[in-house]
């Protein structure tokens, strides 16, 4: 079912481009798969699949209305993550009232285009509904709210998502626990509880912890290393560690990325790059784009060098739709496709790295 859906879309796009060229509507084809990459016409996902991995990109629901964007997402990638659609504020906007509209829309789109879906996220300090953050809860009440949320959401998406970011961003930079509502009310044991409830609701889905600034060796990644080691020892279900990969040229490439991925893999969990983007201080120029391309290649190489690194997800794929300018004014240009969906040098770097591993 998967291959025909993808071929039909690619064929449709190619036909449309040829017709437009004949009619003089466009100057030249822009972002067709792979041709400026590793000298191949294979998509990033096709190349990643050759070494048993996926290559994906996140999508926020409103972006699906951008058909040019949605078409390319569906042809180039093999996996997607909802940027917001499965977060608590979206899935349980009122206590005990669940709304799966946004997440379901992405699952439907993904199925129609042969993409697998990573669930994001069951528990996070951000984008919680008001009813939860403004309430005062006893530990028993909050435990029951958390258990009910995890159980209902995981059961709803059973068989539809291959992995869940069960707990997102639970550590501070210095490796101490973030004082989110769950930690403050329940103590650190909420993490193991969340993982157990998720497992009870879906015995097959891969259960991840996920965070940013954990790509390098350092106190924050050390904290996760210690936690996952402990969870494994206590036989708490934990299957993976997600390294978001929100990088910025001005802060330098994360030191020891490959070694870091490997040490988690050696604990017996999968690892994945879950939200990759590499921003820069604007304006972009040739030098910065070349450095960005080099970094994208390095991240891809690092994942490919670690057997249990199962895949890479970009956080969006085009500068047309990216969270960065709103959060870091003056920064951006973080993705491998520009605002007009043309390949940037980063695309070729990723394609080359994947092709080298596949061959």
Q: Is 92 in the site for ligand G3I (CB under 6 A)?
A: no
The string of DSSP letters for 75-136 reads: HH-SEEEESSTTSHHHH-SBTTB---HHHHHHHHHHHHHT-EEEEEEEE-SSS--HHHHSS-
Paired residues of 123 in beta bridges: 167
Please report how close the Cβ of residue 250 comes to ligand G3I at its closest, in angstroms.
18
Q: Is 127 in the site for ligand G3I (CB under 6 A)?
A: yes
Please report how close the Cβ of residue 283 comes to ligand G3I at its closest, in angstroms.
22
Q: Please, where are the H alpha helices in the chain? A: 2-22, 44-49, 67-76, 88-91, 101-113, 130-133, 139-156, 181-186, 190-201, 219-233, 257-266, 286-304, 324-327, 345-358
Q: Is 318 in the site for ligand G3I (CB under 6 A)?
A: no
Asked if the bond preceding 155 is cis, omega within 30° of 0, the reply is no
Q: Is 275 in the site for ligand G3I (CB under 6 A)?
A: yes
Q: Is 66 in the site for ligand G3I (CB under 6 A)?
A: no
Q: Give residues with Cβ within 8 angstroms of 127, minimum separation 6.
A: 84, 87, 88, 89, 90
Asked if the bond preceding 102 is cis, omega within 30° of 0, the reply is no
Q: Give residues with Cβ within 8 angstroms of 43, minimum separation 6.
A: 33, 34, 55, 75, 76, 77
Please report how close the Cβ of residue 128 comes to ligand G3I at its closest, in angstroms.
11
Q: Is 351 in the site for ligand G3I (CB under 6 A)?
A: no
Residues 140-179 that bind ligand G3I (CB under 6 A): 168
Other CB atoms within 10 Å distance of the CB of residue 233: 9
Q: Which of 60, 66, 71, 291 binds ligand G3I (CB under 6 A)?
A: 60
Residue among 222, 150, 223 nearest 188 (CA): 223
Please report how close the Cβ of residue 134 comes to ligand G3I at its closest, in angstroms.
18
Of the pair 123, 353, the CB lying nearest ligand G3I is at 123
Of the pair 208, 353, the CB lying nearest ligand G3I is at 208
Of the pair 294, 331, the CB lying nearest ligand G3I is at 331
What are the φ and ψ backbone dihedral angles of 332, each rounded to 5 degrees? 160, -145
Tell which phi-psi region holds residue 296, choosing left (phi > 0), alpha (psi between -120 and 50) or beta. alpha
* Tokens 């285009």, residue located: 113
Of the pair 335, 353, the CB lying nearest ligand G3I is at 335
Other CB atoms within 10 Å distance of the CB of residue 52: 11
* CA 112 to mean position of chain CA atoms: 20
Q: Is 222 in the site for ligand G3I (CB under 6 A)?
A: no
Residue 92 annotated as catalytic: no
Tokens of 136: 């005062």
Q: Is 83 in the site for ligand G3I (CB under 6 A)?
A: yes
Please report how close the Cβ of residue 22 comes to ligand G3I at its closest, in angstroms.
39
Please report how close the Cβ of residue 87 comes to ligand G3I at its closest, in angstroms.
7
Which of these is catalytic: 259, 275, 286, 331? 275
Of the pair 112, 327, the CB lying nearest ligand G3I is at 327
# residues contacting ligand G3I (CB under 6 A): 10
What are the φ and ψ backbone dihedral angles of 336, each rounded to 5 degrees? -75, -15
Q: Is 119 in the site for ligand G3I (CB under 6 A)?
A: no
Q: Is 313 in the site for ligand G3I (CB under 6 A)?
A: no
Q: Is 114 in the site for ligand G3I (CB under 6 A)?
A: no
* Tokens 């330098």, residue located: 252
Q: Which of 84, 185, 260, 318 binds ligand G3I (CB under 6 A)?
A: 84
Please report how close the Cβ of residue 57 comes to ligand G3I at its closest, in angstroms.
12
Of the pair 10, 128, the CB lying nearest ligand G3I is at 128
Residues 201-220 that bind ligand G3I (CB under 6 A): 212
Q: Is 332 in the site for ligand G3I (CB under 6 A)?
A: no
Contact positions vs ligand G3I (CB under 6 A): 60, 83-84, 126-127, 168, 212, 244, 275, 323
Catalytic sites, residue numbers: 275
């Amino acid at each position: 079912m998967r291959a025909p859906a993808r071929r039909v879309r690619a064929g449709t796009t190619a036909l449309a481009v040829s017709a437009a060229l004949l009619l003089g509507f466009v100057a030249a084809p822009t972002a067709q798969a792979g041709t400026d990459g590793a000298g191949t016409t294979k998509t990033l996902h096709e190349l990643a699949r050759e070494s048993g991995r996926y290559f994906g990109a996140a999508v926020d629901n409103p972006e699906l209305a951008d058909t040019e964007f949605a078409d390319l997402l569906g042809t180039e990638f093999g996996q997607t993550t909802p940027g917001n659609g499965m977060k608590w504020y979206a899935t349980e906007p009122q206590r005990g009232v669940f709304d799966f509209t946004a997440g379901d829309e992405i699952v439907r789109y993904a199925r129609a285009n042969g993409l697998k879906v990573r669930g994001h996220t069951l528990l996070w300090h951000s984008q919680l509904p008001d009813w939860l953050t403004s309430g005062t809860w006893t530990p028993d009440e909050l435990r029951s709210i958390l258990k009910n949320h995890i159980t209902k959401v995981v059961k709803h998406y059973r068989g539809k998502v291959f992995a869940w970011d069960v707990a997102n961003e639970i550590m501070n930079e210095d490796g101490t626990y973030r004082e989110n509502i769950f930690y403050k009310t329940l103590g650190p044991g909420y993490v193991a509880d969340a993982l157990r409830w998720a497992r009870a609701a879906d015995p097959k889905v891969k259960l991840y912890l996920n965070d940013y600034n954990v790509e390098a060796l350092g106190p924050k990644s050390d904290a996760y290393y210690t936690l996952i080691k402990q969870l494994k020892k206590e036989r708490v279900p934990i299957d993976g560690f997600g390294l978001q990969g929100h990088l910025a040229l001005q802060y330098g490439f994360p030191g020891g990325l490959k070694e870091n991925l490997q040490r988690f893999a050696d604990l017996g969990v999968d690892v994945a790059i879950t939200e990759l983007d590499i921003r820069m201080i604007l304006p972009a120029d040739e030098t910065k784009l070349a450095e960005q391309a080099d970094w994208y290649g390095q991240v891809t190489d690092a994942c490919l060098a670690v057997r249990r690194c199962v895949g890479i997800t970009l956080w969006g794929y085009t500068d047309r739709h990216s969270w960065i300018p709103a959060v870091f004014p003056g920064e951006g240009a973080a993705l491998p496709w520009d605002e007009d969906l043309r390949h940037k040098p980063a695309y070729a770097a990723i394609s080359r790295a994947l092709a080298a591993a596949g061959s």
